[in-house]
């Protein structure tokens, strides 16, 4: 046990060292750019952290020897900033606010540009994650878009499309996220092509909104895959076209349709809903009936995986968590800053989901 503890401590110290050296690289780069200086290699030093002493930490320097990291003073022996900057960024704290917090903590000014440069250490990691190989076969792939405010000269709403998969093992996984100024079938085509290029060959089912052209895009690349509409989105759309006082009654009827034990029972429940509401609300009833075969596609699959296929709970919770992070910042200054926040949150969620399987 003593040997195991020692080995774990070594691994943690190695990780902290790598992280601190990444922060130092971000700092020196910002310093060089802001002060028109030139780099002059590194020197090595030891420093204590809460995880133990780190040997041979590579600290960058400039030719005039003026660069001083805000992580620690020149002769300081211990430091406690491990993970602070990236952790704050992942929680949606703006670079301006982080600069204020770090100045308060360390009495040494971190500018907005320095914070931005430090968080740039995630950029190569994002690209590596977005292009990582995927499995050949997935039980289902969910696709959904979230909108946020982004500055491109002016501030406008733009979308990020998430793709979430269920592996054959039953584990959930966020496969990727894709930035696009608008949500249309071409944006989803790019998502599908990205998944295909990364190794996805045999998805059984795609779940997405009824955006014009999206089913055709799926069939073009995956002709054998089934397509299903989000049932929760269809229910909300139906309910948005009825009077407020009748929504609870209609919502109960829709749940009876989509939570039925069989397709036959679901059709019976829909016919009851239709008989009750078609005279009062003919258009939403007609639209749902027109799409009913695509909405009930999940009944062609085993009962053990039906609930996950018609429910949006997981992906909607994910959207809610990411939106909460972004909401703290009025509008994101660049697409890259949006990607950094989204990636850091997605990485956390994926780690949690790696332990979750179909029930």
pLDDT tens-place string over residues 217-234: 999 999 999 999 988 889
Lowest mean pLDDT among 22-26, 31-35, 321-325: 321-325
State yes or no: pLDDT of 316 exceeds 80: no
339 or 238: which carries more pLDDT confidence?
238
Task: Calculate helix-pair angle for 123-130, 335-353, nearest 10 degrees.
Answer: 60
Q: What is the structure's pLDDT at 282?
A: 96
Q: What is the structure's pLDDT at 114?
A: 60
Instruction: Please compute the mean of the pLDDT values over residues 307-322 and round it to a whole number.
Output: 68
Buried b (16+ CB within 10 A) or exposed e, 261-293: eeeeebbebbeebbeebeeebeebbeebeeebe
Q: What is the structure's pLDDT at 195?
A: 97
State yes or no: pLDDT of 288 exceeds 70: yes
Instruction: Please compute the mean of the pLDDT values over residues 14-32 and round it to a whole number.
Output: 77
Instruction: Please compute the mean of the pLDDT values over residues 72-91 and round it to a whole number.
Output: 56
Q: Provide the residue ranges of all domains of the chain, joining segments of one domain with +.
A: 2-126, 127-353
Instruction: Please compute the mean of the pLDDT values over residues 241-255 and round it to a whole number.
Output: 95
Contact assessment for residue 239 and residue 248, using Cβ atoms and an 8 Å cutoff: no
CA distance 305 to 166: 10
Place of tokens 């007609």: 286
CA distance 89 to 337: 10
For residue range 119-169, list pLDDT tens digits in order: 665 677 788 889 999 999 999 999 988 888 777 778 788 889 999 998 888
> Dihedral (C-alpha) 227, 237, 306, 138: value to the nearest 10 degrees?
40
Lowest mean pLDDT among 9-18, 59-68, 82-91: 82-91
Q: What is the structure's pLDDT at 15?
A: 66
Q: What is the structure's pLDDT at 330?
A: 53
247 or 31: which carries more pLDDT confidence?
247
110 or 245: which carries more pLDDT confidence?
245
Q: What is the structure's pLDDT at 243?
A: 95
Whole-number average pLDDT of the chain: 80
């Amino acid at each position: 046990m003593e040997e195991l503890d020692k080995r774990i401590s070594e691994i943690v110290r190695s990780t902290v060292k790598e992280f601190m050296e990444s922060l130092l690289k971000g700092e020196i780069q910002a310093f060089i750019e802001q002060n028109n200086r030139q780099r002059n290699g590194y020197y090595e030093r030891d420093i204590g952290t809460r995880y133990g002493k780190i040997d041979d930490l590579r600290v960058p320097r400039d030719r005039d020897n003026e660069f001083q990291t805000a992580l620690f003073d020149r002769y300081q022996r211990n430091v406690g900033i491990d993970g602070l900057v990236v952790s704050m960024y992942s929680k949606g704290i703006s670079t301006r606010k982080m600069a204020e917090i770090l100045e308060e903590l360390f009495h040494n000014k971190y500018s907005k540009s320095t914070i931005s440069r430090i968080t740039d250490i995630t950029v190569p990691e994002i690209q590596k994650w977005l292009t990582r190989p995927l499995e050949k076969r997935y039980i289902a792939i969910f696709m959904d878009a979230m909108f946020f405010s982004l500055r491109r000269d002016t501030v406008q709403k733009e979308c990020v499309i998430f793709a979430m998969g269920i592996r054959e093992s039953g584990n959930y996984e966020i496969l990727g996220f894709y930035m696009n100024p608008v949500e249309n079938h071409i944006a989803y085509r790019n998502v599908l092509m990205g998944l295909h290029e990364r190794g996805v060959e045999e998805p059984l089912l795609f779940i997405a909104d009824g955006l014009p052209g999206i089913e055709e895009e799926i069939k073009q690349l995956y002709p054998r895959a089934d397509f299903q509409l989000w049932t929760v989105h269809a229910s909300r759309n139906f309910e948005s076209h009825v009077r407020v006082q009748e929504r609870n009654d209609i919502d109960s009827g829709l749940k009876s349709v989509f939570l039925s034990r069989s397709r036959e029972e679901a059709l019976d429940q829909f016919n009851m809903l239709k008989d009750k509401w078609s005279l009062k609300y003919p258009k939403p009833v007609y639209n749902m009936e027109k799409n009913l075969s695509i909405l009930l596609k999940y009944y062609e699959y085993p009962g053990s995986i039906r609930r996950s296929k018609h429910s949006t709970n997981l992906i909607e919770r994910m959207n809610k968590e990411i939106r909460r992070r972004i909401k703290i910042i009025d509008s994101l200054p660049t697409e890259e800053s949006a990607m950094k926040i989204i990636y850091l949150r997605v990485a956390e969620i994926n780690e949690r989901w790696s332990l979750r399987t179909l029930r």
